[in-house]
Structure 1
Amino acid sequence: MVNKHPLPGSERTVEAGSKVVGQCDPAERIEVFVMLRRQQQAQFDALMSKIEAGDPSVKPLSREALAQDYGAAPDDVVKVKSFAAAHGLTVLREDPAARTVVLGGTIAQFQTAFGVKLEHYEHHITGQFRGRTGTISVPDDLHGVVQAVLGLDNRPQARPHFRIRPPFQPARGRQVSFTPPQIASLYNFPQGDGSGECVGIIELGGGYNTSDLKAYFGSLGVAEPTVKSVGVDQGSNQPSGDPNGPDGEVTLDIEIVGAIVPGAAIAVYFTPNSDAGFIDAVSRAVHDTANKPSVISISWGGPESNWTSQSVQAFNSVLQSAAALGVTVCAASGDSGSSDGTGGGDQVDFPASSPYVLACGGTHLSASGTSISSEVVWNDGAQGGASGGGVSRAFPVPAWQEGLTVTSSSGSGTALSGRGVPDVAGDASPTTGYTVLIDGTQTVVGGTSAVAPLWAALIARINAAKGQPAGFINAKLYKAAGACNDITQGNNGSFAASVGWDACTGLGSPNGQKVAAAL
């Protein structure tokens, strides 16, 4: 008799607004991603607390050292493989460094193996998906070994954080737009083209057209960067031809990074939009020994409450690996203000709320000539979007945010009770947005999606100039008062800008030269 143990954090309930619409075909084949525990976890935790504190004596691990010391134990991989064999599942890929084993099999086999029932659900916004309720179970010999089982469920997990400028309305006043090099210059970025670096970009759908990139960089007089697409879990570069869809996100990310660091290689990791796909794509980028990105930009996310705790923990452990390797991860904080679009209460967006990423919020930027004349919190009203930000319920206050105060829109200040989001900000309002070329159409785009690649490009310039990665930069940035332009006006709904850090724009927008000096 095999004892089954519920996998902690794997509980799923029926999501509000969704209902069961049918049974899954038991013969349908799917792929499931199993994440294993880390070897020498206690030693790794000790290393992480030094990294989190910004200890200058800690050097980034090589990908080889991380794999050997803190990857999955060979015995644990063997246990998963024998479990797979016992249930007729195929091992499609194993990556001990990333602590992952990808299994293939039929719905019927997976239902038996993990003690779940998979059904088709329909959600009024996200459409149809394969889902489950209750917990996932694992047998005795995998209890404590397996940290997450992802991919049984394929509901859309995240949304892109970009906003295309609506048609011009004279009542709204003058609208302006900037090219990415103009923004880099307004923010005083250090010189350089990022040569020798690789920037990884995560995309959960859509694609780019090489013709767009060629025309766009040509129009800016910028050398065309090397862009390669990396398919993860059946994801690939598939432009839909709709600039308002995910193509807008993909093209925006590549054009901002490429225009600012044309000398850097850009690796775009395409994956399906599910928690399994998202986590696997970031993991593949972090552990990519071919492209070796030194900075990763993520412009997708979803409210913390939409994630299971096993997904949050699995994703966060991948982001910890990035920090240990000296890979900087920049993530958009969301475009729906303090509610993160949930319609009820305050929420922060994940993965931006992970303490191992640089969370990027949004501002509304005005310039005269080559200097900034004013910069306030991006908040274009309910339909127009606003900087995501607030206080995490999933993560405690990190060491580098201890003692900070969060200011509410009513003006009252309270001590931060969890990880504060965002860390930094940059121009994000579509009314002062970025000129880009998507699916052959010149358009102006904003959103915190533009801010993550903007900061990623800044870090790539800094890394290239230093000849070594800046790595996990949060602790250093919070210590270096004045490296960012402090934003003190505006709100994102429940939270207001204030002197110093705030839950709308973090420490502020970059003064690139000062950021470089601080790192």
Structure 2
Amino acid sequence: MKSETVTKTAVQTSARKSAAGFAIPRASALSLALSLAFASLSGVAHAAADDSWVATKTKAFLPQVQAKQKSSAVDASVQTPAEAAVQMAQGEPVHVTLSLNLRNEAKLDQFLKDLHTPGSTAHRKYLTPAQFKAEYAPTEKDVATVVAHLRKAGFVNIKVAPNRQLVSASGTAATVQAGFHTALKRFQQDGRPVFANTDAAQVPAALGHIVGAVLGLQNVELAHTNFVMQAPQQGRAAVLAKARTNATPVQTSHSPAEFPGIYNAGSTPTASNTTVAVISEGDLTQTISDLNTFTDSNNFATINTNVVQTGADGSDYSDTSGMVEWNLDSQTIAGTTGGAVQQLIFYASPDMQFSSITASYNQVVSDNLAKVINVSLGACEAAANSDGTQAADDNIFKQAVAQGQTFSVSTGDAGAYNCQVSSISGAPGVPKNKSTYDVSEPASSPYVIAVGGTALYTNAGAYSSEIVWNEGLRAIGQYDAAGDVDNTKRIWATGGGYSKYEAAPSYQSGVTASGATTRGLPDIAFDAASASGANLVINGSTTNQNGNLYTVGGTSLAAPIFTGVWARLQSANANGLGFPAASFYKYFPLAANASLLHDVTSGTNGYSSSYGFKAAKGWDAVTGFGSLNIGNLNAFVTNTADFAR
């Protein structure tokens, strides 16, 4: 592996298609194609006979791609790939996932507030999945109506999620046209074949109050990981020697096992009584092997792991391109928890399509086994909103909050430019318009803890200070397994800013920028700089063929640090803590609680110091409240009856 040049970008292998069974037996490829073809014809006739259709939250995606490509084209007279898109063959397979609207949502929103309001009848009364389904999920009757529509349009292999939030099905381009009144077109994007819907997805008016979004109608935009590997530079031993000689704080890499000491875990218990989950993708075999090597080398007990595959039946999980990410997540969680969790569950998607990752979120919530869930993934918020994914994810995260689960989500590594991408590789963080800012989804959800990134300085291994993580611009370099290179320069810096779509949650009132009406992020931050990153075991070794340490940073390091910290606090409090955002914003701004945090007051996440969002005293839209002092926070939580309770 070439640790000097490999970076993860938005470019992933093209999504693999798969199917899942419901009540219809699996068929041969020929019989399936024939059944879909005949069924889609009857579905088209049905659609033509009924003009009463309504739009879902899934917007027309192809026109947006066309406009974006045209705006960035060097020569406006040259046809862009998206403009040259051609109709998908009517019999070409498509897998869709419908996100259904929650029921009694206003009542649910009030319940989520009352959960953490002392004196409320709902205070600390977390729901089970069965209770949530009974009160807030779509009804069985509504789901049956959706299933009937899908069957009539020609879809097969229909599967309803346990919590009834998602319904997936196998079909064709023709059944998509029949079922949702939109065509699908193919074209090339960033060197890979993709497709997108030409129109907003619609459903019959009778389903308008049930179906929120139709996912799977595009694979142009994919979720991407948020890590960066350190380039070859002065060795860690030399940096530490310099620090000892000059007593100067330095940025130097760390074993994940060192983070508890740096962030003052003190006597805080390990997470031995708490189950943690990691949202992941593909083949986890090497990741688990490397985790075992890591724990063994640090004299930790072997961690009990499990892999839950979340895709449709028959999905391909052979992809290993995200292995470094899953290693970073798992080894950082293991190190930060003190080498002990009750269980570490990898919820593995077969690919990085939005719909596939959403299905993973939904499975971890439906299972309700993990108290803390790590998500070191993200995407341009505007794309997730247009696709309908943002609304679908929020519904799932609401259930997590109701059940007392906490999602820890990285804010991205593209600074304030998550939606500005390279025209060659599709990598984010290319500031074509230096003063236009955006944020990453799902970090922008009010129902997750958004974790930003810092550059960590230590002195002889002890905490010294942190500044905003911003490594400036550098060439993207190799961006796929084929060895393709993109010389476009992108920024490597922590995500942060304000959502364009999520309303400001009540818990941020009076804390974020004056006049802010949308969700501000991050909430907190931890180490993310490649220079002060985590030294990992990769493919059985801590060094590459040149003897350099595998050192990895990015907000994909920051998020699992918080995951490990919160898991420890859960174990210390009998897993009785719930979603902590409201408590963060209630208690962290108080001057009396300054010892709970390391406030970060220097740096920006923009193109230069004149752009992006700037760190400041207290909460800011680049590092949130800063990083946590684990031991001090644990003592405070223990002695504060309503903290995350």
Whether these two folds match at TM > 0.5 is yes
| Code of the aligned partner of 1:435 | N
Q: 1-side partners of 2:512 and 2:145: how far apart?
A: 47
Question: Quick one: which of 592, 595, 601 aligns to 1:488?
Answer: 601
Shift of 1:96: 5.1
Aligned-residue offset at 1:44: 1.1
**Residue equivalent to 1:258:** 334
Do the aligned partners of 2:137 and 2:163 also contact (CA within 8 Å) in 1?
yes
Does the Cα contact within 8 Å between 1:32 and 1:104 map onto a contact in 2?
yes
Provide the secondary structure at the position in 2 that maps to 1:196.
Answer: strand
Q: Does 1:420 align with 2:520?
A: yes
Asked if 1:10 is matched to 2:59, the reply is yes
More off after superposition, 146-155 vs 347-356:
146-155
Matches of residues 357-396 of structure 1 in structure 2 within 5 Å?
Answer: 357-383=448-474, 385-396=492-503
Give unpaired runs (5+ residues) of structure 2: 1-48, 70-80, 240-249, 419-428, 475-490, 543-549, 589-593, 607-611, 638-642
1:327, 1:469 within 8 Å by CA — same for their partners in 2?
Answer: no
- 1:98 CA displacement: 4.1
Q: What is the identity, as a one-letter code, of the residue corresponding to 1:6? A: A
Q: Distance in 2 between matches of 1:81 and 1:293?
A: 30
Distance, in Å, in 2 between the alignment partners of 1:238 and 1:440 is 19
Counterpart pick for 1:437 among 537, 554, 566: 537
> What's the offset of the Cα at 1:89?
1.6
- Measured at CA, do residues 492 and 35 of structure 1 come closer, stay the same or move farther in structure 2, by a change above 3 Å? same
Confirm or deny: 8 A CA contact 2:511 2:585 kept in the other structure: no
> Residue deviations 1:65-123, cap 9 Å, x none?
11111111111011012112212322432125242211122232222211111121211
Provide closer, same or farther for how the CA distance between residues 137 and 54 of structure 1 changes in structure 2, counting only shifts above 3 A: farther
Rate the CA distance shift 1:62–1:175 in 2: closer, same or farther, 3 A.
Answer: same
Query: Is 1:463 paired with 2:570?
Result: yes
Deviation digits for residues 317-345 of structure 1 (CA, Å, limit 9, x no counterpart) = 11111111110111001112122325331
Structure 2 counterparts to residues 180-191 of structure 1, below 5 A: 180-189=256-265, 190-191=267-268
**Who is 1:40 aligned against?**
104
- Distance change in 2, residues 1:470/1:206 (3 Å): same
Structure-2 change in CA distance of 1:208 and 1:484 (3 Å)? farther
TM-score scaled by structure 2?
0.74
* More divergent stretch after superposition (465-474 vs 50-59): 50-59
Structure 1 residues 102 and 287: alpha-carbon distance in aligned structure 2, compared to 1, 3 A threshold: same
Give a deviation string over 1:277-315, Cα, whole Å, max 9, x none: 1211111111115xx111111111012122234221111
Query: Compared with structure 1, are the counterparts of its residues 222 and 78 closer, same or farther at alpha carbon in structure 2 (3 Å cutoff)?
Result: same
| Structure 1 position 312 matched with structure 2 position 390 | yes
Residue number in structure 1 paired with 2:199? 134
Match of 2:222 among 157, 172, 191: 157
Indicate the residue corresponding to 2:308 in structure 1: 230
Match runs of 1:389-404 below 5 Å: 389-404=496-511
2:621 alignment counterpart: 503
- The percent of aligned pairs where both chains have the same amino acid is 28
Matches of 1:382 and 1:43 in 2, distance apart? Answer: 47
The change in CA–CA distance for 1:510 and 1:294 in structure 2 (over 3 A counts) is same
Structure 1: 4+ residue segments shifted above 6 A: 52-56
2:356 aligns to what? 277
Q: Which has the larger radius of gyration?
A: 2
Alignment partners' CA distance in 1, 2:57 and 2:519: 23
- Residue 253 of structure 2 aligns to a residue in which SS? coil
Equivalent residue for 1:95? 161
Give the C-alpha shift of residue 350 in structure 1.
Answer: 0.9
Out of 78, 81, 90, the position equivalent to 2:147 is 81
Q: 1:247 to 1:387 in 2, by over 3 A?
A: same
In structure 1, what is the Cα distance between the partners aligned to 2:275 and 2:348? 16
* Deviation of the 1:51 alpha carbon: 4.3
Superposed CA offset, 1:366-396 (max 9, x none)? 1123521121111111236111111111112
Residue in 1 that maps onto 2:293 = 215
Q: Tell me how large the CA RMSD over aligned residues is.
A: 2.3
- CA distance, structure 2, for counterparts of residue 161 and residue 25 of structure 1: 35
Q: Is the 8 A contact 1:224 1:258 kept in 2?
A: no
Quick check: 1:328–1:470 contact (8 Å CA) kept in 2?
Answer: no
Letter in 1 for 2:561: L
Q: Which runs of 5+ in 1 are unaligned?
A: 407-413
Which of 1, 11, 25 is equivalent to 2:89? 25
Letter in 2 for 1:77: V
Q: CA deviation at 1:205?
A: 4.6
Range moving further from structure 2, 481-490 or 446-455: 481-490
CA distance in 1, matches of 2:572, 2:179: 51
Partner of 2:325: 249
Q: Which of 355, 362, 366 is the aligned partner of 2:446?
A: 355
Q: Once the 2 structures are TM-superposed, how far is the Cα of residue 22 of structure 1 from its aligned partner? A: 4.0
Q: What TM-score does the superposition give when structure 1 sets the normalisation length?
A: 0.91
Quick check: 1:163–1:446 contact (8 Å CA) kept in 2?
yes
1:424 partner letter: I
- Asked if structure 2 preserves the Cα contact closer than 8 Å seen for 1:320 and 1:356, the reply is yes
2:187–2:195 Cα contact (<8 Å) kept: yes
User: Hey, what's the Cα distance between the residues in 2 that align with 1:175 and 1:70?
Assistant: 48
Q: Partners of 1:388 and 1:42 in 2: how far apart?
A: 31
Query: Aligned partners of 2:113, 2:569: CA distance in 1, in Å?
Result: 24
- What letter corresponds to residue 249 of structure 1 in structure 2? E
- How far, CA to CA, are the matches of 1:60 and 1:236 in structure 2? 36
Query: In structure 2, what is the Cα distance between the partners aligned to 1:360 and 1:472?
Result: 14
Aligned-partner residue type, residue 327 of structure 1? Q
**Mapped partners of 1:489, 1:53: distance in 2:** 35
CA distance in 1: counterparts of 2:519 and 2:308, whole angstroms: 32
Match of 1:105 in 2: 171
- What aligned pairs does 1:327-366 form with structure 2 within 5 A after superposition? 327-340=405-418, 341=429, 343=431, 344=433, 345-366=436-457
Structure 1 residue 208 displacement after superposition: 4.6
> CA separation of 1:132/1:348 partners in 2, compared to 1, >3 Å: closer, same or farther?
same
* C-alpha separation in 2, matches of 1:78 and 1:484: 50
Partner amino acid, structure 2, of 1:248: V
Q: Equivalent residue of 1:438, what SS?
A: coil
1:400 to 1:40, Cα distance in 2 relative to 1, 3 A: closer
* Aligned residue type for 1:428: A
The answer to whether the Cα contact below 8 Å between 2:410 and 2:451 also exists between their aligned partners in 1 is yes
Q: Which residue in 2 is equivalent to 1:411?
A: none
Correspondence for 1:143 among 187, 208, 226: 208
1:274 and 1:418 mapped to 2: Cα distance? 26
Indicate conservation of the 8 Å contact 1:32/1:102, yes or no: yes
- Structure 1 residue 431: deviation in Å? 0.2
Q: Distance in 1 between matches of 2:561 and 2:373?
A: 11
CA distance in 1, matches of 2:526, 2:117: 25
